Structure 1
Amino acid sequence: MHDSGTTQRAVGFLLRLIDTEDAAGVRRRIGVPAAAAEERRITYAVLKQSWVPASVLLWILEQDDPELNAVVYGHAWADPAMRRAVLRGIPFGPGRTDTLPVDDVLLRHADEPPEPEGFAGRGLVATLRAVTAMKPARQAASMVLGHRDWRTVTEADREQPLPGYARWALSLRPDCPPDLRAQFGSHAKFTHRVREAGILTGPGEYATAHGPAAQVLKVLSLGPVMFPARVGEAEDALRPLVRDHLAGREEAWAVLAQLLGTFHGTAPELIMTAGAIA
């Protein structure tokens, strides 16, 4: 098989979706190490080295775990709003309102992104209404922190639509509520930009509609540690395909492992192709 950590992680994630005995046989056949509880520090290191869609970082923040939040803060793809929220202990989990503890190292050494010019004097909604270009719109949008602020923005836009730049910048926030994004309207170009920004409807969509498969499955392999509350959605989306096309067929798994290094399609396409070839 292709000798890489990415391939081992990708195959290992899919092996979670079949019977334990069958998985053990496949591991012996293609040389994938036995599954074991993974230390957080290893998972953190893999995440740090990986490009991930913005929504994946949001799924991690939804755990409301100060240690995981610190990992997100240090990720190259974390945006100013995420970093600001982590340092202020803003919760992301559904229904949570209590302020979160902040990692001690972050408190001592991390700096919060600067506020937009004039924000303190105008307030959130007035700042959003004042923007006339994309850069200040992004800066203003980064000040929306937590469920309460999103409700305030939703009500303000309902009373009087926010400027187009503000709507655009808010929509590109991965934690923008879907109902608010829909309230802003839809357009083919808009939908494309949202997708390009790494905004996903959920792990199920990521697992089935995005590629290349090796990268997607590698990121999902981090789920049991980094976003355990959401990774089951991806597993449920892929499980029927894995059982129908791979199951305990060791030769099909060997083909899948060989394809992974150069396959550019989605995980479902990979699974069906490996099964068909075998």
Structure 2
Amino acid sequence: MRDNSTSGAAAGFLLGLIAPEDAARIRRRTGLPEPATAAELTAGHSTALWSWTRTPVSVSVLLWVLEEDDPDLNLWVWRHVSADNAMRRAIVRGVPFGTARTGPLPVPANLTPQDEPPVPESYTRLGLLGALREGTSMRAARTAASMVVERSDWRAVTEADGDRPLPGYARWALAIRPDCPPALRAQFGTHRRFAHRVEQAGVLDGPAEYATSWGPASHVLNVLSTGRLLFPARVGEAEDALRPLVRDHLGDREDAWAVLAQLIDTFHGNAVELVVTAGAIA
């Protein structure tokens, strides 16, 4: 059976975490999706990416893609509905996000400097730090924060906030950026309300947290199923977090996988809760 639905891809991601021979038997008995062949992956590459750009995701997912420092993948991030002006500005300027690269990236095909989002008037008038300090609303602060692009910009912000703390809106706008350096985010504050705002914005420690804490499960697992294509350097963290859980609660039990297939479309909890619930019902 070939199932190209979102839930089919989500269940397929979990099936990839058990032994291949067990997964093949469970697919035959339950009708869960077969893994895509190499030819299908190649043929469906662009279609899958177009679909992905229309699916809202946690902003940290986009950062994991940008960390690949692949201009072709960056173009898809630029097109994504969840991308903001800061990300698009960085992509057009060739800013690297990975740790291994120091020089600029090639600008993705089909993009030119004219595609960069407009430079805020406050930045032109006051410069980066002046614009951040002038922001008296969240909208103004986020507009100014979109000009923090280069690593040198983050260093300048860190030093300026250390000398004289930035206004609350500026700190908030910068903290909910997924690429905000963790040390700077901690410098901004550790109050529980502040941490909650960061979490609400979709800023995560990594794919393991996304896999185990975010929901609904079908959406998260479907996003992770694109990980080998979009963020191969990080998707293994999610697999490692879920593999012991899948082994302990589902394993090679056909009945448990059949229950999971019935639940996954309408289950509102996260992937951990889905796997535990399916195993318990079976």
* Identity %, equivalent residues: 61
**Contact kept in structure 1, 2:250 and 2:275, CA below 8 Å:** yes
Q: Which amino acid aligns with 1:175?
A: D
Deviation larger for 145-154 or 85-94: 145-154
* C-alpha separation in 2, matches of 1:213 and 1:89: 34
Which structure 2 residues correspond to residues 145-224 of structure 1 after superposition, within 5 A? 145-224=149-228
Deviation larger for 113-122 or 173-182: 113-122
Partner of 1:100: 105
Q: Which runs of 4+ in 1 moved over 4 A?
A: none
Q: Deviations over 1:158-191 (max 9, x none)?
A: 1221111111110111111111111100223222
Is the counterpart of residue 76 in structure 1 residue 98 in structure 2? no
Higher relative contact order (CA 8 A, sep 6+): 1
Is the counterpart of residue 229 in structure 1 residue 233 in structure 2? yes
Partner of 1:22: 22
Q: Which amino acid aligns with 1:28?
A: R
* C-alpha separation in 1, matches of 2:54 and 2:77: 12
Q: Which amino acid aligns with 1:165?
A: Y
Deviation larger for 33-42 or 63-72: 33-42
* C-alpha separation in 2, matches of 1:30 and 1:51: 30
Partner of 1:128: 132
Q: Which amino acid aligns with 1:84?
A: R
CA change 1:34–1:167 in 2 (3 A) is closer
**Contact kept in structure 1, 2:68 and 2:98, CA below 8 Å:** yes
* C-alpha separation in 1, matches of 2:152 and 2:237: 27
Which of 254, 263, 266 is matched with 2:267 structurally?
263
Quote how far apart the aligned CAs of 1:119 are. 1.6
Partner of 1:34: 35
Quote how far apart the aligned CAs of 1:246 are. 1.1
Q: Which amino acid aligns with 1:236?
A: D
* C-alpha separation in 2, matches of 1:258 and 1:219: 20
**Contact kept in structure 2, 1:63 and 1:92, CA below 8 Å:** yes
Quote how far apart the aligned CAs of 1:95 are. 4.3
SS at match of 1:176: coil
Quote how far apart the aligned CAs of 1:4 are. 6.1
Q: Which amino acid aligns with 1:193?
A: R
* C-alpha separation in 2, matches of 1:64 and 1:4: 29
* C-alpha separation in 2, matches of 1:261 and 1:15: 16
TM-score, structure 1 as length reference: 0.94
Over the residues paired in the alignment, what is the CA RMSD in angstroms? 1.7
Quote how far apart the aligned CAs of 1:123 are. 2.4
Q: Deviations over 1:7-54 (max 9, x none)?
A: 111111111111111111111122212343423313312312311111
Quote how far apart the aligned CAs of 1:149 are. 1.5
* C-alpha separation in 2, matches of 1:167 and 1:192: 14
**Contact kept in structure 2, 1:6 and 1:215, CA below 8 Å:** yes
Q: Which amino acid aligns with 2:13?
A: F
SS at match of 1:43: helix
SS at match of 1:268: helix
Quote how far apart the aligned CAs of 1:135 are. 1.8
Quote how far apart the aligned CAs of 1:121 are. 4.5
Quote how far apart the aligned CAs of 1:111 are. 2.1
Partner of 2:6: 6
**Contact kept in structure 2, 1:12 and 1:35, CA below 8 Å:** no
What is the aligned residue count? Answer: 276
**Contact kept in structure 1, 2:211 and 2:220, CA below 8 Å:** yes
**Contact kept in structure 2, 1:92 and 1:146, CA below 8 Å:** no
Q: Which amino acid aligns with 1:11?
A: A
Q: Deviations over 1:112-156 (max 9, x none)?
A: 111111423432222222322222211110000132221221122
Q: Which amino acid aligns with 2:37?
A: A
Which of 43, 59, 65 is matched with 1:54 structurally?
59
CA change 1:212–1:114 in 2 (3 A) is same
5+ residue gaps, structure 1: none
* C-alpha separation in 2, matches of 1:34 and 1:170: 40
SS at match of 1:137: helix
TM-score, structure 2 as length reference: 0.93
